[in-house]
Amino acid sequence: MSLPQFAYAAPKTLEEALALLAQHRGDARVMAGGTDLLLKMERRKLAPAVLIGLKRIDELRYIRFEPEQGLFIGALARLSDVVEDAIIRAKYPAIAHAASRTATVQIRNMGTVAGNLCNSSPCADNAPTLIARGAKVELVGAQARSRWLDLEKFFTGPGATALAPDEIMRQIHVPCPPGGSAAAYQNISARSKVDISAVSVGVHLTRRDGKCHDARIVLGAVAPVPMRAREAEALLVGTGMDEDVMRASGEMAAREARPISDVRASSEWRREMVAVLTRRALRQAWDSIASAHGGIVNR
């Protein structure tokens, strides 16, 4: 299939990009890797008159860690950059893992983490772990207007986000992992080893005095947007995280999920997998805290 006709702009600064976006208000789209956007255009789901390519804006191409503040992932950081980044692998391994579970090598070499979020697919692989880790995103508009939003509040529906038509996601911020905490990501497909996730789960746990102090469970692909399983989280806090508790939490998460049946999987199977993957992710995260000797090491 061929793309519809469009004009292509390649600004070199964020400011220029924002000006172009304002100028073509409503009739322009911003493109980073293009791995989702161009497919939508081929299928005529989108036909913007202008594409604003961000690739020449070097100021957006970074992954930075600041010991006091945490991690900053620029809008042009590719999925493969995140997979390979030494600091992310050391301090945020679940975030690197989620990026590595996104699509295929070729797509990871083109697509960006920010793009994966802005595409707002309910099954975006990078959303659950980032939400579980308390990530925020910075959205900038014309005249350098900037606002920070909890990632959890960024998604408003399938393909829809809190981004205003004149805004661009500049970066993603992930706070420093609290002491004695760990995150984990689990995903599964019902069709093949190379597929979009039919179900995904990201969790974040903090341990204090041998007990679960804080828990966040985020489910992907089982609701219109990535969703917190708050009742499942509540079951964990204050417990010693034994097998029964984790299983009960997984089953609670399955009850909270609102999956649909589609070409990728049935709703029944998705619900069942929420239970399995939640338990797996909780086990993995808790074990990795334990193996780091009571949470001295950040993982």
Partner 1 sequence: MRKPYFLLKTPPTTPEPAEKLAPWAETTVVGKPLPRVDAYERVSGSAVYALDLFLPDMLYAAILRCPHAHAIVKKVDTAAATKMPGVRAVLTDSDTEARIPWYFTEKGPTSRLFDPHCRYEGEEIAAVAAETPHQAADALRAIVVEYEELPFVVDLDSALKPGAPLIHEGGNQVEGTLVYERGDIAKGFADAEAIVERTFRTSCEIHTPMEVHGSVAKWDGNRLTVWDTTQGVFQVQQSLADALRLPLSNVRVIGQYMGGGFGSKLEISKHTVIAAILARKTARPVKLFISREESFLCVGNRPANTMSLKAGVRKDGTLTAMHLINRGAVGAYPGWAGVGSQVADLYTCAHVRVEETCGHINAGQERAFRAPGFPQCSWALEQVMDELAAAIGLDPVEFRLTSIPVVSQRQGGKPYTSTGLRQCLVEGARAFGWDAARGGHRRNGPWLRGAGVAACQWGWPGGPPSTVIVRYFADGSVSLNMGASDIGTGTKTIMAMVVAEELGVALDRIQIEHADTGTTQYATPSGGSKTVPSDSPAVRAAAVAVKRKLLAMGAEQLEAAEDEVVLKAGEILVAGSPDKKVRLAELEGLMNQQVVIGVGHREQNPLDKVTKPFGAQFAEVEVNERTGEVRILRLLGAHDSGRVMNRLTYQNQVFGGMTMGIGFGMTERRVLDRQTGKMVNSNWHDYKIPTAMDVPADLTCVPIDVPDNEFNSTGTKGLGEPATIPTAAAIANAVYAATGIRVTDAPINPTQLASLLADQRKRG
Contact set with partner 1 (CB under 8 A): 1-2, 5, 39, 188-195, 263-266, 268-269, 272-273, 276
Least Å from the CB of residue 197 to partner 1? 13
- The answer to whether 270 touches 223, Cβ cutoff 8 Å, is no
- The answer to whether 132 touches 183, Cβ cutoff 8 Å, is yes
Least Å from the CB of residue 75 to partner 1? 25
CA gap 142, 19 in Å, rounded: 6
**C-beta of 228 vs 270, nearer to partner 1:** 270
Looking at residue 78, the DSSP 8-state letter turns out to be B
**C-beta of 130 vs 277, nearer to partner 1:** 277
Least Å from the CB of residue 151 to partner 1? 26
**C-beta of 191 vs 211, nearer to partner 1:** 191
Dihedral angle computed from the Cα positions of residues 123, 89, 208 and 245, in that order, rounded to the nearest 10 degrees? 40
CA gap 186, 132 in Å, rounded: 13
Least Å from the CB of residue 106 to partner 1? 12
**C-beta of 23 vs 100, nearer to partner 1:** 100
Least Å from the CB of residue 98 to partner 1? 18
What is the arrangement of strands in the sheet containing 227-228, beginning at the earlier edge strand? 181-188, 199-208, 211-220, 227-228
Which single residue is written with the structure tokens 């707002």?
120
**C-beta of 126 vs 189, nearer to partner 1:** 189
